[in-house]
Every structure is written in C-alpha cells, then in structure tokens.
C-alpha cells in the first residue's frame, strides 16, 4: 500500500483521509461483513452523509471473478437492473476497489438515452479485496453492492507484455457494435483504446525510480449527438482500456467516442450505424 | 587426461568447500545429454516451499577454456547449487552466464556467479523487462520461499544481444540468438555447434503448460522457424532435459494454435473476456500439467492481444 497519496489522484475528489467519520449503515445484505476500514475513509469524501442503501436487489448487480486469472486485467461488469417502469433510471455508477492504492476506479455517468446503465471493463487489482459498485438513481438515491475478489499485484505489475509495441500503437482505438443491434432497442458497443495506462506504481529497479502515472482519465460517448456514457477513470483501469456499454439505437447515426489522457492526449473514434443496426 | 583429472579433483574440492560455506548446499543433479553439455531438470511445478523454486531447466556447457551457464534458477541458493554442480565437473572458470528471458525462475540465481570472470548475457530487451518486474519477483519469491530465498536479487545482463552473437568457450562456440516477442518480449536461444544442442528457454515448454507472457501470434511465428532447425539435442525451459526427436514442438504449437483459434472465435461471436476466461477455468488440457494455474491466464493474454486483430 505504498504511495497512498495516489488515492486522491485523477478524479479531483476529496477522498483522502482515513478518518472513520461515518459508519456503514446496519441493515440487510453484506455491509456488516464487508471489510470497512478503507470504505469508512472513502465514504465521506465521495458521498458525505448521504444514506446508502445496501439492498441493491433489482437496482444494480456487480459481476466479478472470485479469483483473477490475471490481476492486471480483471474483467468486471456493473449492470443496472431498473427497467424504467417506475420512471427511474440510473444516472451514475461508481466502481471502487477497497485495497487498491487508488480505490476509486471510476465514475460512470448515464442518461435516459443511454439504453440502460451497464458497463463492462477490466481493472487492476492489487490485493485480496472487496470491489464495490454504487449506483445513484434519478431520484437521488444511492445503492451499493460488493463482491470479494482474490487477486494480487495488478497495480504494481508493469504495464506491458511488449513495451516497444505498446508505445508504437498508443492512441489507436476500436469502436465496434456488438452483433446484432436491434433497431429501436438497446444496442451494445465496445470501445478499445491502445494506452499503457501507466500506474506509476511499478518501480524500475535499475533506476530505483517510479514512472510518471500516465493514463486515460476521461471518456465521452454520444450517439446522434446525444450523450450515451461519460466516464472519469483512473489507472486502476487495465492497460489498453476496454469499455462495453449500451446505447439506444433509434435510426441510423454515428456513435462517437472521445478519450482524454493525463498528458492531454485526445483521441476519437467513430462508428457509423445504419438503420438496421449494423456498423 | 591428467590435467583434466586434476581439474576435476580441484573442482570437487572447491565444490565441497563452497558447499559447506553455504550451509552444505548440495550440488544440483545434472545429466550429461551430450559431451560437455549438462542439464539440470527442474520440477514441473509452480514455485513452492517444497521445491525451493527449483522449477526450471538449468544447464552448463564446458569448453576448453571456460564454462557457459544457461539460466540460473529462482534463487541465489539455486544458483549456488548450480555452481557447485559445475565445480563437480570442471575446475574451469565460468565465463558466461546466459539468461534465456527475464522470468525469475531463469535469472534469480545469477548472483551466485558474480565476482568472478563471468559476463552476463541476455536479449537486449531483457534488462528493461526484468527491471520493471524485479521488485515484484523478489517479493513473490521471498513470500513463497522464506529463508530459502535469502540473498536473492536481480543481476542484469550487460552483454546484450539484438540479433545474434557468438560466444567462444575455447574449442566450442555458442550461438546466441534474440527473437521477436513470443513467450516474452526478450526471448533468447542458445545453440552449441559442436553437439547440435539448442536451448530454447521457454520458447519451448515440455510437460508444463506453455505460458503466454508476450504474444501468441509472435510465438507461433517463432515456432515456424524453430521447427526448421536441424538439431541433435533440444533443451526446453521446463520438462524433460532433451526432447530432440519427440513431438514436443508440435504439441506446443497445437496448444497455442488452439488457444488462438478458441479466442478468435469467441471474439467474433461477441463474447467478452470474462466469458472466455470462465470457459477455461478448471479445464485440464490433455497431456499438459499445470493447466489449472495457467490455461485461464493464457486465454486472458490471448484475448487482450487478439481483440486488436481485424
């Protein structure tokens, strides 16, 4: 847990400080059994004194492997479960990894046009830990769910299996529509960005120095000029960031993804979607 | 004959003296697979307390002037036991320590060969790749092996190979060759012209499931070339000491090609990384050991590589 100062990196959120100002509410679910130290420190900065409902059934689900095959690229999904029938939708989701040097993985923003709040990505996990997903609904209520994941070393692992090739292709993007995209319904797309997403936590032993953190921090996706998903993320996202998300397919249009990294690198990808939902 | 005998005796005495100084570190068992070519067969296992990290094949080649060591094991102690094994066979100095790639089980015995005339040889990309991982490797080895890992640290090659190079041991030449990214981004093979012995490092796994830590596509291309090489002896990084004349290369190719085909099909079908990993979880790959530990990981590595293909 070295270099804790990175806790507050990236999101500009006042998440530092490990004072336990607020305890997790008692209630049903797993909150009492959750290892709460880190969470107690994070919660005030992120959510203040707001109530967090730990019965998230029917609101969100979190999918994680129990044991990671590769701690530097652990696949995770947060799925919004509201069907819109009660008029509510999920407008924001947080992804947190308690035991990571930077517990906040990211904040994902959704819109009525999003076609359902749902995001799959890959994260670095540094130690055996709880992973938490917190959803904010359109009526400003918070819901939390959490899973335990066994993995270690993901953040201090070096970025790349092929360092030279990784630098050459930096900024290359792929934006593709999952088949089949049903016209008028929710379509699904994947955004891939070639980026080392350097954590700054893997020491170079010969120079005894840490590299500068260098990672994708912002993603904005729109379809037919309407926002689909905006995300602010940290280097807890794995190398070559991948995001799968929904968008509502209502006629032909262009899906546009813009990406910004911590060195003010800007990257853009577009996918033309025809009336039949093919790209 | 006489000088050789004297040398052997001197070597033996030195080995015994050295062994007692290191807490009676027993010399590693080696097989002479060809004249002057000695291979220690590591266990086909993950590093664990009960094997002390002795999990990779380690070799040495004796020339008329000096000795080359090829890979040195997971710990300083294993490197010392390898040096003791050298000393049982010859009193000649070790002039080259060659690392076939940056993984801890192949490089962390290097420290035992410092201080003499040995020069450390590796792929030009080895130092950067090891340097980025060394801290984590040392931590892992120390956590797993405890005292058995005492004194273990990275010693970096300074003789760096970008294409190929020849090392002269006196009456015996070793050709070292650097490869494009395959098992890792810093693979190196060694070929002894005299006996036709090729050391693949972990470009070839035998018995131990191959582990992808570089590029599955690159690895298959390297195999195309390795399969063309006429060799009399073939020393893999893990498994048997000599697999020349067996189907080891073909079996490895079949596994890697199967991983690539499975993953490509899944990507085309819109399957995510998680589903692909899960499908490989707990699956025993016929004829391979350690599938459970490495197969899901290989699927993950192949997926994140191949999803960029078009």
B306 within domain boundaries: no
Report residue A217 as tokens: 């921090």
What tokens appear for A42 in the block? 């994070």
Rounded Cα–Cα distance for residues A112 and A250 (Å) = 13
Question: CA-to-CA distance for A94 and A89, rounded, in angstroms?
Answer: 15
In a domain, B213, yes or no: yes
**Chain A residues within an 8 Å CB radius of B308:** 169, 172, 174, 192, 194, 240
CA-based nearest distance A202→chain B, Å: 6
Model ipTM?
0.85
Whether A120 sits inside 8 A of B154 (CB atoms) is no
A&B contacts, CB < 8 Å: 89
- The domain in which residue B95 lies consists of 2-247
Asked if residue B280 is part of any domain, the answer here is: no
Check if B217 contacts A (Cβ < 8 Å). Answer: no
- A173 to chain B, any CB pair closer than 8 A? The answer is no
Contact A206 B156 (CB under 8 A): yes
| Chain B nearest-CA residue for A74 | B274
Domain presence at residue B298: no
What pLDDT, on the 0 to 100 scale, is given for residue B11? 53
Dist. CA B91–CA B99, nearest whole Å: 22
In the beta sheet, which residues pair with residue A259?
A: A219, A267
Left (φ > 0), alpha (ψ -120 to 50) or beta: where does A121 sit? beta
Q: How many structural domains does chain B have?
A: 1
Domains of chain A, each with CATH number or no CATH? 4-273 (2.60.40.10)
Inform me whether the C-beta atom of residue B158 falls under 8 Å from chain A C-beta atoms. Answer: no
- Spell out the per-residue pLDDT of chain B, length 310, in tens: 445 555 555 555 555 454 444 444 799 999 999 999 999 999 999 999 999 999 999 999 999 999 999 999 999 999 999 999 999 999 999 999 999 999 999 999 999 999 999 999 999 999 999 998 999 899 999 999 999 999 999 999 999 999 999 999 999 999 999 999 999 999 999 999 999 999 999 999 999 999 999 999 999 999 999 999 999 999 999 999 999 999 999 999 999 999 999 999 999 988 999 999 999 998 999 999 999 999 999 999 999 999 999 7
Per the CB < 8 Å rule, is A204 touching B132?
Answer: yes
* pLDDT tens digits, one per residue of A226-243: 999 999 999 999 999 999
Chain A interface mutation, best of B129, B132, B138, B211, highest count of A Cβ atoms under 10 Å: B132
- Inside any domain, residue B310: no
Output the domain CATH number for residue B146: 3.60.15.10
DSSP string over B170-211:
SS-EEEEEE-SSSSSTT-EEEEETTTTEEEEEEEEESSBPP-
């Amino acid at each position: 847990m070295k270099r804790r100062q990175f806790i507050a990196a990236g999101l500009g959120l006042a998440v530092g400080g490990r004072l336990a100002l607020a305890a997790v509410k008692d209630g049903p679910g797993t909150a009492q059994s959750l290892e709460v130290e880190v969470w107690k420190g994070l919660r005030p900065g992120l959510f203040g004194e707001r109530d967090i409902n730990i019965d998230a059934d029917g609101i969100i689900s979190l999918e994680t492997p129990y044991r990671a095959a590769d701690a530097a690229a652990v696949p995770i999904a947060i799925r919004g479960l509201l069907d819109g029938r009660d008029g509510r939708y999920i407008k924001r989701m947080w992804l947190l990894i308690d035991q990571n040097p930077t517990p906040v993985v990211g904040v994902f923003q959704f819109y009525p046009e999003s076609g359902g709040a749902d995001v799959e990505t890959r994260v670095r996990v540094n130690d055996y830990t709880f992973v938490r997903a917190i959803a904010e609904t359109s009526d400003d209520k918070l819901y939390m769910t959490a899973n335990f994941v066994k993995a270690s070393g993901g953040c201090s692992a070096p970025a790349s299996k092929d360092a030279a090739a990784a630098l050459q292709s930096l900024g290359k993007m792929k934006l593709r529509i999952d088949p089949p995209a049903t016209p008028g319904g929710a379509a699904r797309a994947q955004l891939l960005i070639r980026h080392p997403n350097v954590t700054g936590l893997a020491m170079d032993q010969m120079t005894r120095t840490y590299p500068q953190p260098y990672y994708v921090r912002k993603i904005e996706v729109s379809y037919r000029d309407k926002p689909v998903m905006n995300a602010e993320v940290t280097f807890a996202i794995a190398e070559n960031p991948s995001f799968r998300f929904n968008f509502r397919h209502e006629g032909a249009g262009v899906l546009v993804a813009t990406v910004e990294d911590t060195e003010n690198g800007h990257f853009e990808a577009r996918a033309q979607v025809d009336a039949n939902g093919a790209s | 004959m006489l000088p050789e005998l004297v040398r052997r005796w001197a070597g033996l005495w030195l080995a015994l003296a050295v062994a007692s100084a290191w807490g009676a570190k027993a010399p590693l068992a080696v097989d002479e697979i060809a004249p002057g070519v000695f291979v220690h067969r590591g266990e086909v296992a993950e590093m664990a307390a009960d094997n002390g990290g002795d999990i990779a094949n380690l070799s040495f080649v004796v020339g008329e002037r000096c000795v080359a060591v090829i890979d040195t094991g997971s710990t300083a102690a294993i490197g010392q036991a390898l040096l003791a094994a050298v000393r049982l066979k010859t009193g000649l100095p070790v002039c080259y320590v060659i690392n076939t790639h940056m993984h801890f089980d192949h490089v962390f015995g290097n420290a035992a060969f410092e201080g003499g005339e040995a020069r450390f040889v590796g792929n030009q990309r080895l130092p950067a790749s090891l340097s980025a991982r060394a801290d984590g490797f040392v931590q892992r080895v120390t956590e797993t092996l405890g005292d058995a890992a005492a004194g273990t640290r990275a010693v970096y090659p300074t003789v760096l190979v970008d294409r190929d190079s020849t090392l002269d041991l006196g009456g015996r030449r070793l050709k070292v060759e650097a490869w494009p990214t395959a098992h890792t981004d810093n693979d190196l093979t060694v070929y002894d012209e005299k006996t036709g012995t090729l050391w693949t490092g972990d470009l070839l796994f035998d018995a131990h499931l191959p582990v992808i830590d570089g590029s599955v596509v690159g690895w298959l291309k390297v195999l195309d070339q390795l399969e063309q090489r006429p060799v009399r002896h073939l020393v893999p990084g893990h498994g048997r000491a000599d697999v020349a004349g067996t189907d080891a290369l073909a079996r490895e190719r079949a596994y890697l090609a199967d991983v690539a085909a499975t993953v490509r099909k899944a990507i085309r079908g819109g399957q995510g990384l998680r589903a692909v990993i899960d499908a490989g979880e707990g699956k025993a790959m016929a004829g391979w050991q350690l599938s459970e530990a490495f197969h899901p990981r290989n699927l993950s590595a192949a997926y994140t590589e191949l999803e960029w293909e078009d």
